[in-house]
Amino acid sequence: MTGPLAGIRVLDAATLAAGPLVATWLGEFGAEVIKVEQPDGGDPLRQWGAQRDGVGLMWKSLGRNKKSVTLNLRVPEGREMLRALARRCDVLVLNLRPSTLARWELDYDRLKPENPGLVMLHVTGFGAGGPKSDRPGFGTLGEAMSGFAHLTGQPDGPPTLPSFMLADGVAALTASYAVMMALYHRDVHGADGQLIDVNLIEPLARLIEQPVLTYDQLGEVAGRTGNRWDISAPRNTYRTKDGHWLAMSGSAPTVALRALRAVGRPELTEDPRFAEAQQRLKHAAEIDRIMADWIGDRTLDEAMAVFEEAEVAAAPVYNAEQLLADPQLAARGVYPSISDPELGSMRVQAPVPRFSDTPGAVHHLGPALGEHTDEVYRELLGLDDQRLAELRAGKII
């Protein structure tokens, strides 16, 4: 493996989906990632979502660059082997409930004396401490409790949940930079490793902080506004004459005024009701009608041609087919086709962000369950064929 994280070894013993995502991103940039899975089925992510011939497509992407080993953590011998692996790793990722972590003797206080430099990431639904710390938690609960669902949807409609792993993804992004800070603190300042506690509520709630600030200072509870947002106008999705959708943002005042000129209403840029930012928000509904009427009389291509010429912040609302066909993304190679022994090949998104000198890479897609079991246990634990056979007979691996 090459990349900025070459030499870092990550033990991914987490499941669905924030913890494994962290390990995926570290693996894209050179870390050696060992994925520990239960022998009887592996990470539930393998069965999650769309399948092709019994192969989980999301697993293929999220399992990229990882080595898969099997290990039964429900038995003491399996847990001892995990501790032995952790002694030889820089980062350990777990998402067990706190009580299970302690009962299985996999908590940080138990592991630290054996490997003082270990950075342990513990991802849970609710976080350590507090009355809910030991409850099972999934991203759906984080999306509900963070305030996201309350704000999402039409004003007269129900709270709306995303159809993708939003809370897990935001938690994973937060945890990824946390792991890097802990490694930096260890390696640059000569410190020990440390425990990182991340849950599925707080990282997403941090992005939705404005309603909390508004309530704290003004006593107002924000509600759903559909695709509009009370900090900018125009801001919405608009249907074109040929049945497509277009999104616009007027977050910057200069862009908002350009949009008014582009749709043939330059006089409004001199009207204080529309020229001044706070006044423009008070008249957002009127701006919306102007934009909707103008866009509704044009095809997507016609509207986008005008907006691009006028440097208005507008974009088509893409589905997956359109996303893959976009010339900007194609020019940047955002969705390379990666060969795979089970699928032949599959297009997945390339690593983000881009580095000039040490770019990330997708070396292979998610491996078969236990594909690297013998290799890893021989190399790291010194096990021979006889011992591996005994462990298989005992259903430890």
**Six token digits for residue 79:** 């847990």
Rounded to whole angstroms, the Cα distance separating 122 from 198 reads 6
Active-site annotation holder among 12, 43, 107, 168 = 168
What type of residue sits at position 387? R
Strands (E), the chain: 9-12, 32-37, 51-52, 55-56, 66-70, 91-94, 119-124, 195-199, 235-239, 245-249, 314-316, 337-340, 344-347
**Six token digits for residue 268:** 């409004």
Rounded to whole angstroms, the Cα distance separating 312 from 295 reads 13
Rounded to whole angstroms, the Cα distance separating 181 from 45 reads 28
Residue given tokens 């490694």 in the structure block: 183
What type of residue sits at position 278? Q
Label residues 293-320 b or e (16+ Cβ within 10 Å = b): ebbeebebeebbebbeeeebbbebeeee
Q: Which residues, in sequence order, are CB contacts of 343 under 8 Å at separation 6+? A: 52, 55, 60, 365
Max Cα-Cα span within the chain: 84
Does the annotation mark 288 as catalytic?
A: no
- 293-296: long-range contacts (C-beta < 8 A, 24 or more apart)? 294/263, 294/264, 295/238, 295/239, 295/240, 295/246, 295/263, 296/238, 296/239, 296/240, 296/241
As annotated, the active-site residues are: 168
